[in-house]
């Protein structure tokens, strides 16, 4: 197209809007309204209800021995489940991305099963599978490793429900990695282990941090898949979400809000730490 024609077209059409979406003001207003109603309002009500207790009563509830025991069980089992998902989630994403084999698409679809499966159904299935007379629980019981009604069972339930977060966060990054980086390192004499540790892993670090943080957050808040396999024994296999539910059934709404606020605070702290670590990892990757 001649330059004169293009200039005439621009003059007639006027300045071109650089907005990505039309109606930005309306879209932003609708988004903020939706977030306020769906997210901020319930969280604000929770914080307001917990604050109505007063500092002394609030501290007495959240620092009770049973509450402290539930925090310990929840956090330790969530950390264990996250560590397992970090290793096996990365390995699963690597296999799905880097290899072609019969049944690959089926395996890729199965990864999303915990998202679609009701958590209560998952809990019943895991309890049946790992019971003392189950397919996996029987051999483990013969070895002296009970699963059902133990913290190990809680960790397995958390691992099942939170595994997709690691896989689906790491998988796109693996697919977008430039093969030239690995080929260059290989041509310089680096072995496969060194290439993975020095080339691939630093590039995957932000995605791994995001995936593990989401996995940990899901494990902290998991309820349906755990209550069936945990046995819900106070001071032993009682998680914090269950304790809050028990207080709710007792119509002790302030205590429910207080315990839930501890989980909310822990989630905020975890997200803040994760964002800081991700920013540092991105800066390190850009410098590298």
Structural domain including 73 reads: 55-287
Task: Give the model confidence (pLDDT) of 184-241 as tens digits.
Answer: 877 777 777 788 888 888 888 888 988 898 899 889 888 888 988 988 888 999 999 9
pTM of the entire predicted model: 0.82
In a domain, 44, yes or no: no
Does residue 47 fall inside a structural domain?
no
> Cα Rg for the chain, rounded, in angstroms?
25
pLDDT tens digit sequence for 244-280: 999 988 888 889 999 989 988 888 888 788 778 777 7
* pLDDT for 286: 66
Distance CA 174, CA 84 (A): 20
Phi, psi of 245 (to 5 degrees): -65, -40
For residue 32, being part of any structural domain is answered with no
Per-residue confidence (pLDDT) for residue 8, from 0 to 100 = 47
> Average model confidence (pLDDT) for the chain?
84
- CATH value at residue 111: 1.10.3720.10
- How far from 232 is each of 61, 149, 190, 239, 241, CA to CA, in Å? 19, 7, 51, 8, 11
Instruction: Collect contacts of 100-107 with beta carbons under 8 A, ≥24 apart.
Output: none
Is 282 within a domain? Answer: yes
Q: Does any domain span residue 199?
A: yes
Let me know if residue 120 belongs to a domain: yes
The two structure tokens encoding residue 80: 């264990």
Q: Are 215 and 166 in contact (CB under 8 A)?
A: yes
Q: Is residue 121 part of a domain?
A: yes
179 within some domain: yes
The number of beta carbons lying within 10 Å of the beta carbon of residue 57 is 14
Q: Which two tokens stand for residue 185?
A: 């390192």
Which residues, including other chains, have CB under 8 Å from residue 226's CB and lie 6 or more apart? 123, 154, 157, 158, 239, 241, 242
Q: How far is CA 96 from the centre of its chain?
A: 20
Cα(61)–Cα(256) distance, integer angstroms: 9
| Domain total in the chain | 1
């Amino acid at each position: 197209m001649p330059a004169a024609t293009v200039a005439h077209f621009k003059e007639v059409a006027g300045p071109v809007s650089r907005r990505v979406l039309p109606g930005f003001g309306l879209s932003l207003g609708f988004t903020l309204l939706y977030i306020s109603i769906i997210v901020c309002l319930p969280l604000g009500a929770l914080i307001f209800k917990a604050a109505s207790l007063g500092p002394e009563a609030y501290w007495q509830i959240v620092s009770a021995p049973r509450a402290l025991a539930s925090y310990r069980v929840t956090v330790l089992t969530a950390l264990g489940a996250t560590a397992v998902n970090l290793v096996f989630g990365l390995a699963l994403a690597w296999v799905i991305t880097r290899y072609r084999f019969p049944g690959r698409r089926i395996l890729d679809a199965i990864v999303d099963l915990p998202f679609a499966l009701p958590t209560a159904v998952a809990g019943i299935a895991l309890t049946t599978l790992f019971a003392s007379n189950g397919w996996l629980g029987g051999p483990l019981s013969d070895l002296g490793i009970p699963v059902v009604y133990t913290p190990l069972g809680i960790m397995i339930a958390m691992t099942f429900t939170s595994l997709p977060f690691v896989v689906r966060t790491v998988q796109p990054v693996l697919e977008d990695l430039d093969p030239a980086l690995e080929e260059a390192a290989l041509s310089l004499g680096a072995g496969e282990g060194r290439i993975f540790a020095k080339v691939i892993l630093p590039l995957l670090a932000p995605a791994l941090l995001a995936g593990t943080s989401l996995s940990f957050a899901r494990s902290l808040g998991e309820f349906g898949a755990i209550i069936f396999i945990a046995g819900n024994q106070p001071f032993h296999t009682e998680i914090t979400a269950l304790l809050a539910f028990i207080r709710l059934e007792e119509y002790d709404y302030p205590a429910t809000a207080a315990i839930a606020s501890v989980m909310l605070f822990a989630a905020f702290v975890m997200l803040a730490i994760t964002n800081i670590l991700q920013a540092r990892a991105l800066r390190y990757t850009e410098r590298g």
